[in-house]
């Protein structure tokens, strides 16, 4: 029984360490109208080698991206999304608001 408890403690410590070695970024995209829009943003963000996981929520138009700790660059993310033809209105890093566009721009239709 002690061995099982020790193994569980090691696993919990490893999960905790992994969580602290990443930045959790959430951003709201503007201009999305369809699944192809979502795919375009996903592709634009995923090219960043420090972006480990990219998850969209199409209902809220929010994205959750996991970055290597300290590698997130707000201006690079905005540029990636805007180059795909969309806008960014809000960005949170580890649940703290770090960017808010006062007047969210409407996205341009993506080139297809």
Per-residue pLDDT tens over the stretch 53-109: 999 888 888 999 999 999 999 999 999 999 999 999 999 999 999 999 876 455 555
Is 75 within the bounds of a domain?
Answer: yes
Is 79 within the bounds of a domain?
Answer: yes
Number of domains observed in the structure of the chain: 1
Is 85 within the bounds of a domain?
Answer: yes
31: left (phi over 0), alpha (psi -120 to 50) or beta: left
Is 60 within the bounds of a domain?
Answer: yes
Whether residue 23 has pLDDT greater than 90: yes
Summarised one tens digit per residue, pLDDT across range 24-64 is: 999 999 988 888 988 999 999 999 999 999 998 888 889 99
CB-CB neighbours of 79 under 10 Å: 13
Is 93 within the bounds of a domain?
Answer: yes
Is 105 within the bounds of a domain?
Answer: no
pLDDT of residue 105: 53
* CATH number of the domain bearing residue 86: 3.30.70.100
Element of type H or E holding 78: helix 74-83
Is 112 within the bounds of a domain?
Answer: no
By residue range, what is the domain housing residue 66? 23-100
């Amino acid at each position: 029984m002690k061995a099982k408890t020790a193994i569980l403690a090691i696993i919990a410590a490893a999960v905790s360490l992994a969580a602290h070695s990443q930045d959790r970024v959430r951003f709201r995209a503007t201009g999305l109208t369809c699944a192809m829009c979502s795919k375009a943003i996903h592709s634009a963000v995923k090219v960043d080698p420090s972006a480990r996981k990219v998850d969209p929520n199409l209902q809220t138009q929010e994205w959750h991206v996991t970055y290597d700790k300290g590698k997130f660059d707000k201006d690079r993310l905005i540029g990636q999304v805007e180059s795909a033809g969309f806008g960014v209105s809000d960005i949170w890093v580890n649940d703290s608001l770090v960017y808010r566009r006062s007047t969210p721009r409407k996205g341009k239709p993506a080139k297809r």
